[in-house]
Amino acid sequence: MILQQESLVLFITIFTIFIAATSSPTRAQKSNSSACESSCGTGKSAKVVPYPFGFSRGCPIILQCDHTVGDVKIGEFQVQNITPNVITYTEKPGHNFSLNATFDEVDFSKYDALVIPGGRAPEYLAINESVLNCARQFSDSGKVIAAICHGQLILAAAGLLKGRKCTAYHALRPVLIDAGAHWIEPKTMMDCVSDGNLITGVIYKAHPEYIQLVVKALGGKIAGSDKRILFLCGDFMEDYEVTVPLQSLQALGCHVDAVCPKKKAGDFCPTAVHDFEGDQTYTEKPGHNFILTASYEGLDASSYDALVIPGGRSPEYLALDETVIALVKKFMQSKKPVASICHGQQILAAAGVLKGRKCTAYPAVKLNVLLGGATWLEPDPIDRCYTDENLVTGAAWPGHPQFVSQLMALLGIRVSF
């Protein structure tokens, strides 16, 4: 199975972040408030941010398909890139995604929302009667249903789009119109449509608004999001580690800028997909082309409330840039929140700002952290993140829910249901 990488993870990540910032894990688990279910399959691309987002908010999320809990290949993501002068998208292998529940054992009535990622998986899930019955059960109960990219194929096959306003990846227009939908032509790839309990989006670039609409539909309210966040980017930073936190913060309502030395607004940074696939270390595959939102030259660092440093391979060479070192020192000296994940701590060590601090990182960066004068905090399990005064650190992208939630706490951003 192939999952379109960014949609599945984005939605789940954002939901997690929202709930974790507003209530304790125990309370969230006991109340099961705003529990979400995500129907998955191989080839889904629109799941990367929603999944971590939901967990960061403490929202229970079930990932399900016709496989069992712990299966991995089921969660094989696609990296779908929009390439200039090419009529359609290109596909490359993405992350392997593990399930946390078994489809046949899930009680759909216990969940408040259904999220359907895009990619190619919906093509075959749309002919699975069990999946269609799942969607119908959510619809019959009036619960929130969110679908993005090609996920709307499942709703069309279930007969749930008749007379409903919706959008999707533009190639779905003929089939959705034939299914009786009131098609809303997307003006951009970031468009979303809300019609009662139904929320639809075009592709992963729509995640910020897509998640905002789902949170609103579930009765969520966001406070303290009038913040400006700066992302320090570079070529071959980890795909998830820039996209998930950035789109999560955008979904919260923050103004987010992404910059890279020697590049300007509109330029892109190629990203890397790092995963463990049975070797002694992680493998690397090409990820999305990440578009920068602002120019690095002439940047006014004082206008931002926090700095986020993604991991991947970019920190290795960014740590050699004196302007980057000066930027990091400025944020740390001003006591503004700094959140760094994976290999990002290589930059912090090079800047000399870890002396006397407590932090974690990807295990292979432990030497940098110790030589930088910090107290090493073991990332056990690998999704463990830590906050030490104004510094948030994480070891790898599985820690995004904690990573974003802890940054939210420092920024005073809260989501309540």
The set of catalytic residues is: 149-150, 342-343
Contacts of 17 (CB under 8 A, 6+ apart): 52, 53, 54, 55, 56, 57, 248, 252, 400, 401, 404, 405, 408, 415
Residue that the structure tokens 């712990």 belong to: 70
Q: What is the pTM of this model?
A: 0.84
Nearest to 148 by CA among 182, 186, 98, 96: 186
User: Do residues 231 and 246 touch, judged by C-beta distance below 8 A?
Assistant: yes
pLDDT tens by residue, the chain, 417 residues: 333 443 333 333 334 444 434 433 333 333 444 566 666 655 555 555 565 555 455 454 555 555 555 554 444 455 556 666 667 777 777 888 788 888 899 899 999 999 999 999 999 999 999 999 999 999 999 999 999 999 999 999 999 999 999 999 999 999 999 999 999 999 999 999 999 999 999 999 999 999 999 999 999 999 999 999 999 999 999 999 999 999 999 999 999 999 999 999 999 999 999 988 888 888 999 999 999 999 999 999 999 999 999 999 999 999 999 999 999 999 999 999 999 999 999 999 999 999 999 999 999 999 999 999 999 999 999 999 999 999 999 999 999 999 999 999 999 999 998
3 state SS for 105-130: HCCHHHCCEEEECCCCHHHHHCCCHH
User: Do residues 184 and 166 touch, judged by C-beta distance below 8 A?
Assistant: yes
